[in-house]
Amino acid sequence: MKVPISWLKEYVAIDMSAAELADRLALTGTEVERVLHVGLPVDDGNLDRFVVGRVKKKGAHPNADKLTLCEVEVGDGKVEQIVCGAKNFKEGDRTAVCLPGGTLPDGRKLEAAVIRGVESRGMMCSESELGLSSESAGIMILPEDAPVGTRLVDYIPFSDEVLELEITPNRPDCLSVYGIAREVAAITGAALAPEPTQDVEPRGGDSIEELITITVDDGELCPRYGARLIAGVRVAPSPTWLKARIVAAGMRPVNNVVDITNYVMWTLGEPMHAFDLAKIAGPSLNARRAGKGEKITTIDGTERKLDQNMLVIADATKPTAIAGIMGGAGSEVSDETTDILLEAANFNGPNVMKTEMALGLRSESSTRFEKGLDAEVVPKALAMASRMMVELCSGRLVPGEYDIYAEPRSEQAIHLREEKVTSLLGIVVPGAEIEAILSRLDFESHREGDSLHVTVPSFRADVEREVDLIEEIVRVFGYELIPPTLPSDVRVMGGLSPYQSAERKIALALTAAGINEAITYTFIAPDFADRLRLADDDSRRQVVKLANPLSIDQSVIRTLMLPSLLMSVATNLSMRNPDVNIFELGRTYHTVAGEKLADERRTVAGCLCGSLRGESWMHAGRETDYFTGKGIVEAVFSSVKGSFSVERCDEPFLHPGKSAYVVIDGKRAGYMGEVHPLVLEAFDIDKPVVAFEILEDALIASSAGIVIFEDLLTFPASFQDIAVVVDEQTAAEEIIRVVREAGAPLLRGARVFDTYTGDQVGEGKKSIALGLEFRSPERTLTDEDVDGARAAILAALGERLGATLRG
C-alpha cells in the first residue's frame, strides 16, 4: 500500500519527517517496506526552479519551422525567452516552466542553451517530462486560475515522499489513506480530520429506480450492495492534481471516471466499479452466483470460465462483472460513455479469495475484498465518488440510490478486565492510559468497576475478543516498556530425550569416521524407482506424490534415502571433489493403506565413494569397499552400544555378492553394500559407491542400555591363536558362533585376524585365523584351564563345521 505523505497530511496534522513517521509506524505494527520519493527531486532548491508560467508571446523560431520562440512570464515581473517544440498552446496559457538548473524526475538536468542559434532560458514541461504520464502530446496547460510565479509544487503535489507499507491481512482498514491517517493519529496523538465523504445534492426529476433494477440474489456472498447513477458525464483526462495523486499511489491514470473510483478506493479502502449504463442489458443488475458454463471477458481482454461458487454481477442476459474482482469488458466505461452506474458493495472475503485462486486473477479490488471489508463504508464511498463525478466530470447525480443491506451490522462490545491486561503482558498499564489508547483508536469505552465495556468501531472487524483489545493497547503503549523476564516457575525438566541424544551420537560417530553430513531434499524425481531397478511390485514404488510440484524432478517423496544421496555424490563428483563420503539423518515416507498421513521412518544413511582417509604425501588412499561400509555401520552401532547381524542381501540396487541386510533381533533394519554398477550408471557415477541405510528406531532400540561393570583388571587374561581350515563357503560369523558356544564360559573374546585361500589349504577350502581371549572373573587361569577350553573349541569346530586345525 503506497501512501503519499501529502495525501496523508490532508487528513492528519503530523509534523514529523517521513522517516520518523515510518519508524513510529513500524514499532506500532504497520510495516514500512521503504520510503520512496516521487516526482521532482527536492535537493538544492530544485523545487524553486519549477514555477507556474504564462505564455506572454508565442512566435516563430527564426531558424526552425518546427520550433516556437516564446516569451514566458515566470513571476516577479520576470520574462524568459524559451524555445519550445510543442504547438498545443496559445498566448495567455498557463503552463509548468522549468528554469535553468532544474532537475526533472528522471534525473535530467536542464541548463540554459542556444537552440538553432537562439538562446532558450528554460523549458515548458509536458506531463511525461514531469512523470505524470508515459506519453503526452504537448506541454501541460494549467487552469486559468493558476497563480503565475508560484512554485509548481505549491500548486500541484509534484514532489512527494511515499510510504510503501505492508499491511497485515487482519487490518484491511489500513489499505486506505484515511485508514492510515486514523492509525497515525492514534499512534502520534496528532489531530484527525473528518472523513472526506461529504455528499452532493441530486438533480433532475427522474430516479434511479426508474432507470435500472438492481437485486441481490445471494445475500451471503453479497451482504451489501449500493449503487448510484451519475448522468451526463464527460469522460476526459483527469485534472493534473488527480493524476499526480494516482501516479504517486503507484497506479496509472486512465480517465476521470476510472481515476475517481480508484481515488475513492485509495482514500477509503472501498473498491468501486463504474459501469456504462448504456451497455447494461435490461437495464438490470443482479448479484448472483455464476451459472454452470457461464463465461465473461474481463477488462484485461481475457475470457474466463466461471462456476457456481463464484459471485457475479449480471445484467439481464449475462455476467457483466466478477464481483469484487474485475469488471467485464462489455460494460466498461469508454470515451463515449455518458451515464454511469456507480457500484460500492460488500462481498464475502473468503469467497472472493476462493474465486481469485480458482481464476488465478487478483486485482487491487480483490486483494481488499478478500480480507473482509467494513460494510459501513459503502454509503460513504458512494457519497465521495458522486461528489467528485459531479465536480470533475460535469455529471448530475440522479435522485435516489440502491442500498441493499439485508442484515445490518450489530454493535460489537467487549468486556476488558484490567487484571487480564496485567497478567498477559507482565506489566501494569494504568487504567487511564488504557482508556486513552482505546479512545485514540476510535474504540468507545466506559468503566464498570475493574473492567471496561468497550465498543468496537465497524472498521475493526479483527477485534473480537478481550485479547485482541490487549494487543491494541500494548502496541500503542509500546513493547519497549515491557521488561524482559524469564518464566519464574518452571517445574519441568528440559533437555534431549534418550532417543535424541542417541541420534546425536550417531551423527558424531559418523563425522568421527570422516563422513560429512548432507541434507538433501526429500522430494525427488519419480523415475528414482526405475533407476534403482526396483521390481514392479516393490512396495517402495508406492510414493507420496505432490499435487502441485515445482518440477517433475521434485514431484514425489522418497521411500529410500539412497537416491537423494547418490544425486549428491554425482553432483560432488561433477564438481571434481575426489572423495565423497556423506551421510544424512533423514526420513523416508511410505503410504499406508487406509491412513491419511504417511509412515515417516527416521533413517540414517550414507554413501562412501573414493577414499575415507584421502590421499596424502605419506600414502595413497584406500578405495572403499564392502568392508569399509561394514566398519562404518559397526561404528554407528557401537556409538549407541547396539549390535546387529548380517544376512545375504538381494536388494536390486546392490552388488549381489558384496551386500548384506543389517539384521536386528531377527528383523531386517537396513542394508549395506556396494551399489550395483547399473544403478551407478543410472545416476551418472563412474566410481564405486558403498551405501548403507538403517532405520534409526531399530538401531537405537538395539542398544544394550546401561553398561554393567566387568572386572577386566584383577585377573589377567590368557591369549591363544588358532588357525582352522574350513570349506570356503563357511561364514566367518558362523565359525565365531561355534567358537563362542564351545569356549564358554572362559572364552571372552574371539576375533578374526587373518584369512587365507590358496595352495596351502587346497581347493574349495579356506583358512581362518582367530585370536582367542580367555578370562575368569574369579581367578587367574591355569594352562590346564585354557588347554581344556581350546580343545573343546577345536572339537566343536571339527564336529559342526568339519574344521581341521591348520598345520
Tell me the closest approach of the beta carbon of residue 546 to another protein, in angstroms. 5
CB closer to another protein, 127 vs 370: 370
CB closer to another protein, 338 vs 516: 516
528's enclosing H/E stretch is helix 528-531
How far is Cα 780 from Cα 710, in angstroms, rounded to an integer?
15
How far is Cα 585 from Cα 602, in angstroms, rounded to an integer?
7
CB closer to another protein, 90 vs 596: 596
How far is Cα 61 from Cα 64, in angstroms, rounded to an integer?
5
418's enclosing H/E stretch is helix 418-425
Q: Residues with Cβ < 8 Å from 4, sequence gap 6 or more?
A: 38, 157, 160, 161, 162, 177, 245, 248, 249
Taking alpha carbons only, the member of 28, 30, 32, 48 closest to residue 40 is: 48
How far is Cα 312 from Cα 293, in angstroms, rounded to an integer?
13
CB closer to another protein, 371 vs 380: 371
For residues 8 and 177, is the Cβ–Cβ distance under 8 A? yes
Q: Which of 490, 593, 707, 708 binds another protein (CB under 8 A)?
A: 490
Under the binding rule (CB under 8 A), the answer on residue 517 touching another protein is: yes
How far is Cα 569 from Cα 583, in angstroms, rounded to an integer?
11
Under the binding rule (CB under 8 A), the answer on residue 428 touching another protein is: no
Tell me the closest approach of the beta carbon of residue 521 to another protein, in angstroms. 5
User: Site for another protein (CB under 8 A): how many residues?
Assistant: 96
CB atoms within 10 A of CB 608: 30
Tell me the closest approach of the beta carbon of residue 110 to another protein, in angstroms. 32
Tell me the closest approach of the beta carbon of residue 693 to another protein, in angstroms. 17
Interaction residues for another protein, span 523-552 (CB under 8 A)? 523, 544-550
Under the binding rule (CB under 8 A), the answer on residue 612 touching another protein is: yes
Cell numbers for 399, please give them: 435522485
Tell me the closest approach of the beta carbon of residue 419 to another protein, in angstroms. 11
Tell me the closest approach of the beta carbon of residue 26 to another protein, in angstroms. 6
CB closer to another protein, 259 vs 356: 356
What is the DSSP code (8-state) at residue 211?
A: H
Cell 460494460 identifies what position? 331
Q: Which of 598, 701, 794, 796 binds another protein (CB under 8 A)?
A: 598
Q: Which of 46, 95, 255, 520 binds another protein (CB under 8 A)?
A: 520
Under the binding rule (CB under 8 A), the answer on residue 496 touching another protein is: yes
What is the DSSP code (8-state) at residue 278?
A: G
CB closer to another protein, 26 vs 736: 26
Exposure string (b/e) for 763-780, b if CB count within 10 Å is 16 or more?
eebbbbebebebbeeeee
Interaction residues for another protein, span 352-411 (CB under 8 A)? 353-354, 357, 370-372
CB closer to another protein, 23 vs 721: 23
CB closer to another protein, 597 vs 707: 597
684: left (phi over 0), alpha (psi -120 to 50) or beta: left
Q: How many residues does the chain have?
A: 807
How far is Cα 807 from Cα 794, in angstroms, rounded to an integer?
13
Binding letters toward another protein, positions 5-44, x by CB under 8 A = ---------------------xxxx-x-------------
Task: Give me Rg for the CA atoms of the chain.
Answer: 42
Tell me the closest approach of the beta carbon of residue 752 to another protein, in angstroms. 24
Under the binding rule (CB under 8 A), the answer on residue 594 touching another protein is: no
Under the binding rule (CB under 8 A), the answer on residue 487 touching another protein is: yes
Binding letters toward another protein, positions 436-465, x by CB under 8 A = -----------------------------x
Tell me the closest approach of the beta carbon of residue 286 to another protein, in angstroms. 24
Q: Which region among 50-58, 264-272, 307-315, 483-491 touches another protein (by CB under 8 A)?
A: 483-491
Taking alpha carbons only, the member of 268, 257, 275 closest to residue 320 is: 275
CA distances from 127 to 4, 144, 253, 425, 585 (A): 19, 17, 12, 54, 63
Cell numbers for 296, please give them: 465473461
Peptide bond into 283 cis (omega under 30): yes
Q: Which region among 211-219, 387-395, 572-580, 771-779 touches another protein (by CB under 8 A)?
A: 572-580
How far is Cα 455 from Cα 464, in angstroms, rounded to an integer?
10
Under the binding rule (CB under 8 A), the answer on residue 191 touching another protein is: no
CB atoms within 10 A of CB 643: 13
Q: Which region among 58-66, 74-82, 334-342, 596-604 touches another protein (by CB under 8 A)?
A: 596-604
Q: Which of 430, 614, 657, 716 binds another protein (CB under 8 A)?
A: 614
Q: Which of 15, 65, 76, 489 binds another protein (CB under 8 A)?
A: 489
Q: Which of 63, 215, 334, 511 binds another protein (CB under 8 A)?
A: 511
CB atoms within 10 A of CB 20: 12
Q: Which region among 39-47, 452-460, 473-481, 672-680 touches another protein (by CB under 8 A)?
A: 473-481
Q: Which region among 192-200, 308-316, 571-579, 678-686 touches another protein (by CB under 8 A)?
A: 571-579
